[in-house]
Chains A and B, each alone.
Chain A
């Protein structure tokens, strides 16, 4: 069967139009991308940085924003010894170019036309692609019921705090230190933090470090959620 050959995804030039410090170690890059074709929330991009001597390296980052013309936002978390994240968080200047290509990924995505109930569960910077979904839902005026469970280490680590405080159905969980007066003691997410299974089952998106995703998806299966409805995105070291 002859297959129509897809056109390669081109590298595009992006310029840093604006930047926001989200926490002490995370920065949102607002990028103006020439010819950006749009994206679905949950998709990511490949970023390529090239030094003056020709050395170049690539990384993948989730898109944080909803589709909005030729502008996309990436939230980059500074990693210990991160060659690329240290540059993008600390040194990348307004107006300067990078190269990127995308959007990439067709599985961990939410389509703004979907009406099915959605449960989003994010650990740490795993909230970034989920934020893209929350924003896309708002921009689309979608009535799909959304619920976000967001696990952060401490209050100072929470991304998008002000924006999230204006959304309904957001639950924050702290693993190391909680704000004063917060009822739930700091601890890792347990099955008590998860909503009881109801039918029809929601579509569930889980994103975070491998250990978080493994633990949460295991708890969901124990609660009776169907593996078919659970989409995951893992990042970071596995602990091996």
Chain B
């Protein structure tokens, strides 16, 4: 039973069915990171998928940009409570990148430049649910938002959409990432309000 705070009425009533529980809608695009923005140029950038067998698949920037790209329009939900609707991205689907990777792994641990990591079940990166995104709203992705490229997994809280992404390991057993070892939920479904460990 919720406690009513006397005098509080609230003003914004976006009780839209597109807004997960506990979230509020914003128009701008706030930034959250644990450390300084890493300085990564497209010349230095590469993306590597390492299968559980140790087999590596690597793409340079030009190799990534030569792949067919998609232009998802998605809603974002940050664990810090803001949501933003209809964000426009351009990127390569993880389905395209995983097409030639032989794996029976169930989990992925995603790595970023700067040392950030996050974990997801591999199936959450498949079937049109995830992209390596390099353009946002018609422009190259700004460094503070993860440029040159970030993971985009919009059906989970935004900390799963690792900025400055550089690769992922495929694993048979789940390994927790950066925020997940610091008390945030290991899966992070905004619709089940899985913000913190145990939610």
Contact assessment for B3 and A98 in the assembled complex, using a CB-CB cutoff below 8 Å: yes
- Chain B residue, CB-CB nearest to A232: B35
| Interface size range of chain A in the complex | 35 or more
24 contacts between A and B (CB under 8 A): A8-B198, A9-B199, A48-B22, A50-B3, A50-B8, A51-B8, A57-B22, A60-B80, A91-B8, A92-B5, A92-B8, A96-B5, A96-B6, A96-B7, A97-B5, A99-B3, A104-B183, A217-B37, A221-B36, A221-B39, A234-B32, A239-B28, A240-B29, A240-B137
Among all A-B residue pairs, the 9 with the closest Cβ atoms: A106-B182, A6-B198, A217-B36, A237-B28, A6-B197, A8-B198, A50-B2, A240-B29, A210-B31
Residue-wise, chain B 156-199 has the 8 Å CB interface mask toward A (1 for contact) of 00000000000000000110001100110010000000011111
Task: Collect the chain A residues with CB atoms within 8 Å of residue B33's CB.
Answer: 232, 234
Nearest-neighbour CB distance to chain A for B198, whole angstroms, equals 4
Give Cα distance in the complex from A106 to B184, angstroms: 9
Nearest-neighbour CB distance to chain A for B82, whole angstroms, equals 10
Contact assessment for B198 and A7 in the assembled complex, using a CB-CB cutoff below 8 Å: yes
- B-side binding surface: helix, strand, loop or mixed? loop
Residue ranges of B at the interface with A (Cβ–Cβ < 8 Å): 2-13, 15, 22, 24, 28-39, 80-81, 114-115, 137, 142, 144-145, 173-174, 178-179, 182-183, 186, 195-199
Q: Name the contact of A238 in the complex, choosing from B12, B144, B197 (C-beta under 8 A).
A: B144
**A200 close to B (CB within 8 Å):** no
- A-side binding surface: helix, strand, loop or mixed? mixed
Given A98-B5, A227-B35, A237-B29, list of 7 further CB < 8 A pairs? A6-B197, A50-B8, A56-B10, A87-B8, A218-B37, A220-B36, A227-B36
Contact assessment for B182 and A227 in the assembled complex, using a CB-CB cutoff below 8 Å: no
Q: Name the contact of B4 in the complex, choosing from A3, A6, A51, A239 (C-beta under 8 A).
A: A51
**A236 close to B (CB within 8 Å):** yes
Q: Which of A56, A92, A97, A239 has the most CB of B within 10 A?
A: A56
Nearest-neighbour CB distance to chain B for A146, whole angstroms, equals 20
**A181 close to B (CB within 8 Å):** no
Task: Collect the chain A residues with CB atoms within 8 Å of residue B5's CB.
Answer: 49-51, 87, 92, 96-98
Contact assessment for B8 and A218 in the assembled complex, using a CB-CB cutoff below 8 Å: no
Give Cα distance in the complex from A220 to B4, angstroms: 46
Task: Collect the chain A residues with CB atoms within 8 Å of residue B38's CB.
Answer: 227
Residue-wise, chain A 78-101 has the 8 Å CB interface mask toward B (1 for contact) of 000001000100011100111100
Task: Collect the chain B residues with CB atoms within 8 Å of residue A232's CB.
Answer: 33-36
Contact assessment for B196 and A240 in the assembled complex, using a CB-CB cutoff below 8 Å: no
Task: Collect the chain A residues with CB atoms within 8 Å of residue B2's CB.
Answer: 48, 50, 54, 56, 99
Task: Collect the chain A residues with CB atoms within 8 Å of residue B196's CB.
Answer: 6, 8-9, 104
Give Cα distance in the complex from A52 to B24, angstroms: 19
Q: Name the contact of B10 in the complex, choosing from A57, A92, A217, A218 (C-beta under 8 A).
A: A57
**A142 close to B (CB within 8 Å):** no
Give Cα distance in the complex from A210 to B36, angstroms: 11
Give Cα distance in the complex from A218 to B143, angstroms: 12
Give Cα distance in the complex from A237 to B29, angstroms: 6
A238 in contact with B3 given A106-B183, A217-B37 (CB within 8 Å): no
- Chain A residue, CB-CB nearest to B12: A83
Task: Collect the chain A residues with CB atoms within 8 Å of residue B7's CB.
Answer: 87, 91-93, 96
Contact assessment for A236 and B30 in the assembled complex, using a CB-CB cutoff below 8 Å: yes
Task: Collect the chain B residues with CB atoms within 8 Å of residue A59's CB.
Answer: 24, 81
